Amino acid sequence: MIEINHVSKWYGSTFQALKDCTTKVAKGEVVVVCGPSGSGKSTLIKCVNALEPIQEGDIILDGIKVNDPKTDLPKLRARVGMVFQHFELFPHLKIIENLCLAQEKVLGRSHDEAMAKAAKLLDRVGLKVHANKYPAELSGGQQQRVAIARALAMDPIAMLFDEPTSALDPEMISEVLDVMVDLAREGMTMMVVTHEMGFARKVAHRVIFMDQGEIVEDALKDDFFGKPRSDRAQKFLSKILSH
Amino acid sequence: MNYNWNWSIFFEPAPGGTGTYFDMLLSGLWLTIQTGIFAWIIALIFGSIVGVLRTLPSKTAYWIGFAWVEFFRNMPLLVQLFLWFFVLPELLPRSWGLWLKQMPNAPFYTAAIGVGLFMSARVAVQLAAGIASLPRGQKQAATALGLTTFQGYRYVLLPIAFRIIMPPLTSEFLNTIKNTAVAITIGLIELTGQARSMQEFSFQVFEAFTAATVMYLLINIVVVTGMRFLERSLAIPGYITGK
């Protein structure tokens, strides 16, 4: 589904954010990407739908080369859902309108069709009663669930999560993770940048550990938590799991 | 001071034979309003386009926006009006220049377009600042949903940015109206022009300019009230510009 082949990326001419990264996410697979801050994990996930350009290597999404200048990027991006650390709901639109905008403008669905879909998804994330509120009137956890629903409204073939719980208060993290766990169990293809190791243990198939722009470790979940091969991954795990 | 106050001068017939001095001022007021609104529409249209150009990733777009803004804001408005009115017709091929000079209402169009373009530079800078003040994630979220750059601006970035810059835009609207007074120098007999003719005919300089001042004040109170109403009706609940 998602293939990342020897990808390198530089910011400016000096700072190399990604160094020869290679990995893939198969259909129905849940892959968690973790690593210390500044390790390039967010950059990597943003390269998958070309929010960030890459300078070397290839990224192939459902058989389509993302970094090919001929690729119709808006069309391709519409098929991949993305959830951001800071939710990024559109503040001037009501919750339901946030879910309808791209359905109507990108997929060309009728307003009624989009509304029906949006209502169904809001119900699914437990926020139907808030449909006519504005994003700023919701809590962080609620906003993030809306953001997930907004991505799902496009009927994506895969979902990208960029630290979806990092900006949330602790008591709101679980309501977002619950939605993600459900999604994973339904067989959604997911690439998730997160520090939530509990989530990784529960639903991930594979865990990727990154440090300084490199994929240091790419292992099955049980191998990763059981016996990480690299020192750096061991150190990282011991730091975040010690509390 | 040896001055004969005569507040009833407004009801005396003006030498033009078309009515009282008050009618004369009213016709000036009406011309000021027309010029101001025409100029403001031009300022908004060009200011929006140029403001957006300044925020696009394209270098060419940025330079076009940069050149536009620096050209129109670094020259005094008076000089610009002289350029359009006296110099431009001479630079054009003879027949075009002649056509321009003989155009009916030439001072009106020159003033409206001249003031409009001058103000467009200011609108552009404010809009660009408004767009730049939005979190980067807003654009990314729009892009990730599959919206094209145009759609992203149309449905997400501009509606928020315009709300944010509403207060300074109100000031610019007022400035546009006040700046039309410069058009007196190219023969547009708007409110300031009529006040001056009234003074020349009647020698009641204080009455004439007091009336003009009150009229400017009235237009601007209407504009401020209108803009405040607009601002309030567009406010986003819970967001920066909200209540």
Instruction: State the DSSP string of chain A.
Output: -EEEEEEEEEETTTEEEEEEEEEEE-TT-EEEEE-STTSSHHHHHHHHTTSS--SEEEEEETTEETT-TTS-HHHHHTTEEEE-TT----TTS-HHHHHHHHHHHTS---HHHHHHHHHHHHHHTT-GGGTTS-GGGS-HHHHHHHHHHHHHTT--SEEEEESTTTTS-HHHHHHHHHHHHHHHHTT--EEEE---HHHHHHH-SEEEEEETTEEEEEEEHHHHHH--SSHHHHHHHHHHH--
Q: With contacts defined as CB-CB under 8 Å, which chain B residues touch A101?
A: 145, 147, 155-156
- What CA–CA distance (Å, rounded) separates B163 from A105? 22
Burial (0-12, 13-18, 19+ Cβ within 10 Å), B201: middle
Q: Which of A88, A105, A106 sits opposite B141 (nearest CB)?
A: A88
Q: Which of B138, B147, B242 sits opposite A105 (nearest CB)?
A: B147
Q: With contacts defined as CB-CB under 8 Å, which chain A residues touch B148?
A: 74
Write out pLDDT tens, residues B80-99. Answer: 999 999 999 999 898 888 88
Q: Which of B138, B163, B242 sits opposite A88 (nearest CB)?
A: B138
> Between chains, do B140 and A51 touch, taking CB under 8 Å as contact?
yes
Task: Please report the pLDDT score of residue A231 as a whole number.
Answer: 85
Task: Please report the pLDDT score of residue A230 as a whole number.
Answer: 83
> Between chains, do B135 and A88 touch, taking CB under 8 Å as contact?
yes
Q: Which of B147, B155, B156 sits opposite A74 (nearest CB)?
A: B147
Q: Which of A46, A90, A134 sits opposite B156 (nearest CB)?
A: A90
Orientation of helix A140-152 relative to helix A170-185, angle to 10°: 20
ipTM of predicted complex: 0.92
> Between chains, do B144 and A82 touch, taking CB under 8 Å as contact?
yes
Q: How far is CA A233 from CA A26, A37, A222, A236, in A?
A: 23, 13, 14, 5
Q: Which residues numbered 78-137 in B keep a CB inside 8 Å of some CB on A? A: 135, 137
> Between chains, do B155 and A101 touch, taking CB under 8 Å as contact?
yes
Q: pLDDT tens digits, chain A, 243 residues: what are they? A: 899 999 999 998 889 999 999 999 999 999 999 998 889 999 999 999 999 999 999 999 999 999 999 999 999 999 999 999 999 999 999 999 999 999 999 999 999 999 999 999 999 999 999 999 999 999 999 999 999 999 999 999 999 999 999 999 988 999 999 999 999 999 999 999 998 999 999 999 999 999 999 999 999 998 888 876 788 888 888 887 766
Q: With contacts defined as CB-CB under 8 Å, which chain B residues touch A150?
A: 145
The position carrying tokens 């609940």 is B237
> Between chains, do A88 and B236 touch, taking CB under 8 Å as contact?
no
Angle B124-B40-B179 from CA coordinates, rounded to 5°: 95
- What CA–CA distance (Å, rounded) separates B93 from B45? 28
Q: How far is B120 from chain A (nearest CA, A)?
A: 25
> Between chains, do B137 and A88 touch, taking CB under 8 Å as contact?
yes
Q: pLDDT tens digits, chain B, 243 residues: what are they? A: 788 888 988 998 888 777 899 999 999 999 999 999 999 999 999 999 999 999 999 999 999 999 999 999 999 999 999 999 999 999 989 888 888 888 888 999 999 999 999 999 999 999 999 999 999 999 999 999 999 999 999 999 999 999 999 999 999 999 999 999 999 999 999 999 999 999 999 899 999 999 999 999 999 999 999 999 999 999 888 776 544
> Between chains, do A78 and B140 touch, taking CB under 8 Å as contact?
no
Q: With contacts defined as CB-CB under 8 Å, which chain A residues touch B142?
A: 90
Q: With contacts defined as CB-CB under 8 Å, which chain A residues touch B153?
A: none
Number of other residues whose CB lies within 10 A of the CB of residue B177? 22
Q: Which of A77, A79, A86 sits opposite B143 (nearest CB)?
A: A77
Q: How far is B133 from chain A (nearest CA, A)?
A: 14
- What CA–CA distance (Å, rounded) separates A81 from B145? 7
| Contact of A193 with A166, CB cutoff 8 Å | no
Task: Please report the pLDDT score of residue B241 as a whole number.
Answer: 53
